[in-house]
Structure 1
Amino acid sequence: MKRFLVRPEIYYGSNALGYLEGIEGKRAFIVTDAFMVKLGMVTKITDILEKKHIEYEVFSEVEPDPSLDTVKKGLNQIIYTKPDLLIAIGGGSSIDAAKAIMCFCIHLKEKFIDTHSIKKPWFVAIPTTSGTGSEVTSYAVVTDKVNNIKIPLNEALMIPDVAILDEELTKTVPPAVTGDTGMDVLTHALEAYVSLQACDYTDIYAEKAVQSVFGYLLRAFKNGGDMEARAKLHNGSCMAGIAFTNATLGINHSLAHAFGAKFKLPHGRSNAIFLPYVIKFNAGLENGMVKNPAVAEKYAAIAKQLNFPAATAPEGVRSLIEGIKVLNRVLGIPTAIKDMNISKYEFEGSIAEMTEGVMKDICTPGNPVQVTEKDIIRVFKEAYVGLENL
């Protein structure tokens, strides 16, 4: 028996924040970052809570790639607050931090009698970037900065109860962040599409998300005030999240987790860099042929939907790879690691450590092709030098 989970409730479109006007509760715990406070985004929420006479605490210490220490600080505060509402607003980092805080809190409740008064709060996620899809997934990623590793978490209890997709909250996102997060959406969708657990339901969401990225990312990148493009990307990010939380991800994310943690790079940008090389590996594209025809056919199907040349599976795979490389270049994302001011000596000296992380990553088992350490090392090295001809 198989399962496809559709959660949470989704409120979308301009002024979707109006959902909060009808929310019930006594105490709210808001998880965000200092920039959201500075921009006045948090005030949009607290103004509503004050009108409804709902007490609130704001935890605004979340940083990009939230650390375990940050999660612990938030955990201490939420235990003290004992909220019946948990509201996360910001990028994927804020939502992931809120998820981890709640997850650890619930586990504490199960383990220690003295936290018996803590109940699972009603969880509302409000993304302000269009990338992670964290508002609809059971995944979260936190960083152990002592050991320099990213820790992916996956528990159903972390899925928010409500997601609010208001594109108005994304219009001030800078072009570079728009590009990085948009490529994160594309990676989520493509990994879900070829995952071992992909199905008809996840394919529909993944296909639409891919079309949203290729159709609207450059528009939003070039003109942040293009609200049609912003709305389409916001919805596409959510759809990709629904796809991958059901179908799982693969080694593209595992590679990005390890590489991003080691070299302190944004997650979306790391995903974008590896995507062409992972597609090549998964399809088994070599000398104009494919070794993994079933996977290659799925990539080719996406290429056809995008109206790329795809008369044969190998041609479709090549077209998709080239399309992604062109998209990266226009977005200012390098197509090879060597172009990122990372020396070959430093990179190769880190491969063994990063490969170990990839092999242990919870995303790796979902890859459509089983991998060995040798395979991962090969992908790392190809991504470093780049591939001009396929």
Structure 2
Amino acid sequence: MEEISLRTKLNIGANSLDSLLKITGQKVFIIADPFIVQSGIVSEVTNRLHSNHNEYLIFSDIIPDPPIETVTIGVKALQEFYPSVLIAIGGGSAIDTAKAIKEFSIRLFKQENDLKFIAIPTTSGTGSEVTSFSVITDQEKHVKYPLIADSLLPDEAILDPNLVISVPPVITADTGLDVLTHALEAYVSTNANDFSDALAEKAFQLIFDYLLRCYNNGKDIEAREKVHYASCLAGMAFNIAGLGVNHGIAHACGAQFHIPHGRMNALLLTAVIEYNADLKGFSNSTQTLTAQKYAQLAKKSGFSSSNIRSGVTSLIQHIQQLKKDLNMPQNLRACGLTYEQLMKSLETITEAALKDGCTKANPRLPTTNDIEAIVKQIF
């Protein structure tokens, strides 16, 4: 028996921020990226709260790859303010930080009041607003720790496309390819089912239809809305099915080399597809189920797919072309990494990737040699 929980209530579309007007007479703890505060975007939240006699406190000590130290400071601030509503607004780092702060507050201090959690993403990438995952970093050890618990799920999410119009092209590309990775990993996960497949397929389709439009014209509100929804759909998919070795390696490499998470996933994506499909090992009589699913997705997307092998190859080629159109780096060298740096960290990366919780759901169980080969392939 399997259980699927879709706990988070979604408020979607233009003006969906007006759902905050339902909050009246509450103490609200707002966790926001520094940019969200400095740019004034946070006023989209605070103005709506202020109109209904709410008291609020803004915590903005957020940095990418949220470290344990930030979570500790946030827990202290939350406990001192003791709110009834928690709002996270920003990218994945802000939402992940809020999740960790809420979780550790409950575990350490047994917070008694019912803390309502609302997530408002301002990038279209992580899907964190609908997932039971959070990733925090031990900066001293250069290790990322995924937290996984249903208690991390926000109670509500607000998907307002107006909040992502100002996202720069490079971040649009990074986060959009993170969405594509989420969809593809969920699609071939060992835990995939009809429900996660449907969500992953739709997210994949929306990214190929609209991401390049977003990149070329950030003010294209239709494209922004569709990519924002794709991020959420892919988050729902991997929250059901899990991810895979692509994220396992990305977490490990990101902690070592500080390459943005979406970019790191994009660097790995086609190498991981090739590995999972086992293109070098299967013939038409020994094709893998994973290869069949990749080919099926390629066919549904209108890519050339006369047989399983050509379908997988076509999928890889279309992803590579999308990466080129988005001006993404094609290898680790283009990210400024030297071969010496790679080799110095390779053993640490391999060990971390094999231990990473995401790797467990990969359709092909990797070995140390497999991880090393994938990482070397993208150098």
TM-score bracket for this pair, using the shorter chain length: over 0.9
Deviates more, 1:370-379 or 1:156-165: 370-379
Pairwise mapping of residues 334-345 of structure 1 onto structure 2 (< 5 A)? Answer: 334-345=329-340
Shift of residue 272 of structure 1? 0.4
Tell me the equivalent position of 1:42. Answer: 42
1:154 to 134, 148, 154: 148
Task: Tell whether 2:343 aligns with 1:348.
Answer: yes
Q: Normalising by structure 1, what TM-score? A: 0.95
Mapped partners of 2:105, 2:319: distance in 1? 40
Tell me the equivalent position of 2:2. Answer: 2
Tell me the equivalent position of 2:78. Answer: 78
Mapped partners of 2:283, 2:18: distance in 1? 53
1:375 to 367, 370, 373: 370
Deviations 1:342-375 (A, max 9, x none): 1111111211000011011010101011111111
Shift of residue 118 of structure 1? 3.9
Pairwise mapping of residues 82-93 of structure 1 onto structure 2 (< 5 A)? Answer: 82-93=82-93
Pairwise mapping of residues 1-390 of structure 1 onto structure 2 (< 5 A)? Answer: 1-24=1-24, 26-110=26-110, 118-286=112-280, 289=283, 293-384=288-379
Q: Which amino acid aligns with 1:60?
A: S
* Change in 2 beyond 3 A, CA 1:16/1:176: same
- Counterpart contact for 1:293–1:313, Cα < 8 Å: no
Aligned length: 378
Mapped partners of 1:292, 1:254: distance in 2? 25
- Counterpart contact for 2:25–2:52, Cα < 8 Å: no
Deviations 1:135-163 (A, max 9, x none): 00000111111111111111100100001
Shift of residue 18 of structure 1? 0.6
> Secondary structure at the residue paired with 2:3?
coil
- Counterpart contact for 1:254–1:364, Cα < 8 Å: yes
> Secondary structure at the residue paired with 2:95?
helix
Q: Normalising by structure 2, what TM-score? A: 0.97
Shift of residue 338 of structure 1? 2.6
Deviations 1:203-262 (A, max 9, x none): 110000000110000000000000000000000100000000010000000111011111
Shift of residue 24 of structure 1? 4.2
Mapped partners of 2:24, 2:132: distance in 1? 24
Shift of residue 335 of structure 1? 2.0
Structure 1 unaligned residues grouped into runs of 5+? 111-116, 385-390
Shift of residue 49 of structure 1? 1.2
Mapped partners of 1:368, 1:206: distance in 2? 16
- Counterpart contact for 1:125–1:164, Cα < 8 Å: yes
- Counterpart contact for 2:251–2:261, Cα < 8 Å: yes
Identity value in percent = 46
- Counterpart contact for 2:25–2:53, Cα < 8 Å: no
> Secondary structure at the residue paired with 1:132?
coil
Mapped partners of 1:138, 1:359: distance in 2? 21
| Large movers: runs of 4+ above 3 Å | 287-292
- Counterpart contact for 1:126–1:135, Cα < 8 Å: yes
Deviations 1:148-202 (A, max 9, x none): 1111111100100001000000000000000000000000000000001100001
Mapped partners of 1:378, 1:230: distance in 2? 36
Mapped partners of 1:176, 1:142: distance in 2? 23
Shift of residue 287 of structure 1? 7.4
Shift of residue 334 of structure 1? 1.8
- Counterpart contact for 2:24–2:49, Cα < 8 Å: no
Q: Which amino acid aligns with 1:307?
A: G
Aligned-residue CA RMSD (Å): 1.3
- Counterpart contact for 1:106–1:119, Cα < 8 Å: no
- Counterpart contact for 2:18–2:48, Cα < 8 Å: no
Tell me the equivalent position of 1:387. Answer: none
Mapped partners of 1:353, 1:81: distance in 2? 40
Mapped partners of 1:293, 1:146: distance in 2? 41
